[in-house]
Structure 1
């Protein structure tokens, strides 16, 4: 089974996070499981719909892109419980930025253009606050990944940025960001985000086995806890395409889904 994930963190970090999960799935499925990193978000979508990948960890927006591109021929299997109410955070080092309104005339970075929590939803909440990043900000950039957004803000390359709350909390807990210098000034409301997705033509028996393997992970079991902790998950739960309707609407409204 060929597995990949959107490159929202560095390739080495994605490999590290997936290794025990891959070994677990090999045992449960009785087949070789191989992780193949992709160069960008678009490659994760194309890889799945063109039969080069079998299972992909998508953000909500990349799932919607895959669904539209494949003509509904992809199925989201499971998501972390945390993904039912996922959030993005806006960060800055500047004392004069306290609200979204204060971003007018400032420089700002999103993550990847195809990132749900690093671009689409932050943009959608900005637009809802009557701030058009393209016209109201001095300059916008795309860092390519959540950890790169933090580095750009911390290093003073931009005045502020937006990223996913789970990567932010991880970097703070690992001491990789000085939380006294870089601070969160706005946290978005919750929305559905990440999921594990397969193509609709996967053998139904294999699909069921795969889903059951994810659902069986239990944080009270030491081996499973390591896998769940690396995935920043308390547990996996079933999901369905309908959950991502709000993201599809936000993408269409922002002109990001043609």
Structure 2
């Protein structure tokens, strides 16, 4: 799986490198922001749904920053990191793990994260879920059963990293050298996203899975997963998804982008973004994520 992930990243870089990587004509505007601001987004749900979902944010940022805003939704998490490395993306919405992986390769700065509606803080919950009718009551039960486990994307913080942390704390030995090995679990798979993980556990193709709890709650609210079909048997708080920028954009651009998020007031847009507002974050906020990623062999520094 690690070799496959590296291949995907290399493939994405090759595609991106084939395009012109020079800044947009006309340089930057009075906010210090590029006249064409390229925004990358990780696909924590199906990429086609992600693009449509962020269209109102694209419009808001364009008006607020007085710039043309182009959205790029990668097919996987590694694709956004590849886009940052190739300078095809200026600003990106990343998970905590994706951020520390990007920061190990590219000069990037975290700017803001959303205030989670469920916790009222910058943190949200990663969880391990089983079917509602499962006999498993704890993560220890999941490990002891030696069944099939579904992660999301390999580089997902709440769908891969923190579930591995919880599994290891409950007696598993998720491998540092082989991402798809978590003995004594019998089979490990990667679904690519939280919605797919929820469906895998719900339909019985996996006995348990790692998922972002607030996404599960949205799926239940939207009727995509019946209430009670899935049950949480373990959870951990995680620092929120950071919006980051490439350092070379500079302090003026950083301040303008931070202000745009912190001054977002439109209730409909905030509701769409599943938040009540935004708060600033720094690299220090992601120290726990960086430590877990290092311990589990998911972080390679330049």
Q: Give the number of equivalent residue pairs.
A: 250
Deviation, 1:248, is: 0.5
- Deviation of 1:154 after TM superposition, in Å, equals 1.2
Structure-2 residue corresponding to 1:179:
227
How far off its partner does 1:169 sit?
1.1
Tell me the residue number matched to 2:169: 128
Provide Cα deviations, 1:68-115, integer angstroms capped at 9, x if missing partner: 112xx1000100122622211221124211111111311110101100
Aligned residue in 1 for 2:248: 201
Q: Which residue in 1 is equivalent to 2:209?
A: 161
- Structure 2 portions without partners, runs of 5+: 1-36, 175-181
TM-score using structure 2 length = 0.80
Larger helix fraction of residues:
1
Structure 2 partner of 1:238: 280
Which structure has the larger Rg? 2
Q: Is the 8 A contact 1:166 1:232 kept in 2?
A: no
TM-score by length of 1: 0.93
Residue 203 of structure 1, CA deviation: 3.6
Hey, what's the Cα distance between the residues in 2 that align with 1:146 and 1:185? 16
User: Counterparts in 2 of 1:1-258, with a 5 A limit?
Assistant: 1-70=37-106, 73-82=107-116, 84-93=122-131, 94-104=133-143, 105-133=146-174, 134-186=182-234, 188-218=235-265, 224-258=266-300
The structure with higher relative contact order (CA 8 Å, sep 6+) is 1
Q: CA deviation at 1:177?
A: 0.3
1:66 is paired with a residue whose SS is helix
Verify the 8 A CA contact 2:129 2:232 in the aligned structure 1.
yes
Q: Are the aligned partners of 2:40 and 2:93 in contact in 1 as well (CA < 8 Å)?
A: yes
Cα deviation code 1:156-195 (max 9, x no counterpart): 1111111011211110111110123222222x23121311
**Higher deviation after alignment, 151-160 or 89-98:** 89-98
Q: Is 1:117–1:193's contact at 8 Å kept on the other side of the alignment? A: no
Aligned structure 1 segments of 4 or more residues deviating by more than 3 angstroms: none
Is the contact made by 2:91 and 2:244 (CA closer than 8 Å) also made in structure 1?
A: yes
